[in-house]
Amino acid sequence: MRIYRQAKSLTGEHHGAVIAVGNFDGVHRGHRTVIGEAGRIAAASDLPWGVLTFEPHPRNVFQPDAAPFRLTPFRAKADEIAELGVDFMIAQRFDLDFSKQSATDFVERYLVETLKVHHVVAGYDFKFGHKRMGSCETLLSEGQKMGFGFTAVAAASDDGGGLYSSSRTRELVEKGEMQAAADVLGRPFSISGRVAGGDKRGRTIGFPTANIHLGGYIRPAFGVYAVRAVLADGSPVDGVANLGMRPTFDGTAPRLEVHLFDFDADIYQMRIDVQLLEMIRPEKKFDGLDALKAQIARDCDTARGILGNK
């Protein structure tokens, strides 16, 4: 999948495409329905299949001091979209100037003049333009005037009527309800990053860890999780992880510390993807290293039991 960081850099081979448009944070089952519909239309007409998204997320622009909330920061989102088979993605820079253009200007100058779209696909609740005045109705009416097709995709939900949405997924992740979050996402919630240097305390007590800073990721419930790490070569390794402030050691910033079972390779500075499969217990402060070591051993046994069934 080719990634464009500005629409104006789009090359001729990707003009006249069928494009799914949205923020797509999480690339959950609802998003996949929207993107997949664009792919179906593109394949039927033998046209390029694209995705238009916005970076940084508009919420970061309008609420710069808000707590981290992303389910899929840019790289993770791009990886998930690429796996769908999309031909190209436009990660349009979103800033205050871009937000001030009217809905009709966005359609006429951006979608039509710059991207030269053939067909646009969006979720039923997609809003755009200054003060979010543009909607699916806008895209439909402007498309009829400007000569491009438009498809609005209805809400997708599970058997119980729960919507597949980013906001619902965030709520579940913040509660540590990882199986329910995975049901919405269509895959386990995961945190990707490079293995960073840590305090090396884990190694001294017999449980070495791979440490990953959370960056822009939403903060799941702090606690201990059964995890499955996917290494750079695609191989999975089971483990247990503490996600939180490390209160026993008076930590000052949240961190993901992953202990991989039966694994001793050097993966420092390598990028890994850590799937949080099930929360074992909340994070807590221990009265000393012996109590901590005993609890970690129990957590490892619990995680092995959980992962043996997944």
Q: Which CATH number do you get for residue 278?
A: 2.40.30.30
Task: Flag whether 192 is in a domain.
Answer: yes
Task: Flag whether 264 is in a domain.
Answer: yes
**Residues 114 and 220 both lie in one domain:** no
Task: Flag whether 243 is in a domain.
Answer: yes
Strand 119-123 and strand 236-244: pairing? unpaired
Instruction: Give the CA angle between residues 80, 259, 184 to the nearest 5°.
Output: 30
What region does 121 belong to: left with phi over 0, alpha with psi -120 to 50, or beta?
beta
**Residues 22 and 130 both lie in one domain:** yes
pTM: 0.93
CATH number of the domain encompassing residue 14: 3.40.50.620
Question: Which residue range forms the structural domain that includes residue 287?
Answer: 188-307
Mean pLDDT to the nearest integer, 9-37: 97
Give me the residue label for tokens 């993966």: 267
Residue 30: what pLDDT? 96
**Residues 82 and 144 both lie in one domain:** yes
pLDDT tens, residue by residue, 237-281: 999 999 998 777 667 689 999 999 999 888 999 999 999 999 999
DSSP state letters, 122-179: EETT--BSGGG-B-HHHHHHHHHHHT-EEEEEPP-B-TTS-B--HHHHHHHHHHT-HH
Task: Flag whether 285 is in a domain.
Answer: yes
The Cα 109–Cα 138 span in angstroms is 14
Name the percent of the chain in helix, strand, coil, to the closest 5: 35, 25, 40
DSSP state letter for 217? B
Query: Is the pLDDT confidence value at 199 over 90?
Result: no
Mean pLDDT: which of 145-159, 171-185, 199-213, 246-260 is highest? 171-185
The Cα 106–Cα 121 span in angstroms is 15
Determine how many CB atoms are found less than 10 A away from the CB of residue 206.
10
Task: Flag whether 78 is in a domain.
Answer: yes
- The answer to whether 94 touches 22, Cβ cutoff 8 Å, is no
User: One-letter amino acid identity for 295?
Assistant: Q
Task: Flag whether 274 is in a domain.
Answer: yes
Task: Flag whether 144 is in a domain.
Answer: yes
Task: Flag whether 135 is in a domain.
Answer: yes
**Residues 147 and 274 both lie in one domain:** no
**Residues 103 and 194 both lie in one domain:** no
Question: Would you state the structure tokens that stand for residue 142, as one six-digit string?
Answer: 């402007």
- Give the chain's domain count: 2
The Cα 182–Cα 175 span in angstroms is 13
Mean pLDDT to the nearest integer, 274-303: 93
- The answer to whether 191 touches 267, Cβ cutoff 8 Å, is no
Q: How far is CA 207 from CA 190, 194, 204, in A?
A: 22, 19, 7
**Residues 45 and 108 both lie in one domain:** yes
Domain end, chosen from 135, 153, 171, is at 153
- In the chain, pLDDT over 90 holds for what percent of residues? 84
The Cα 229–Cα 239 span in angstroms is 7
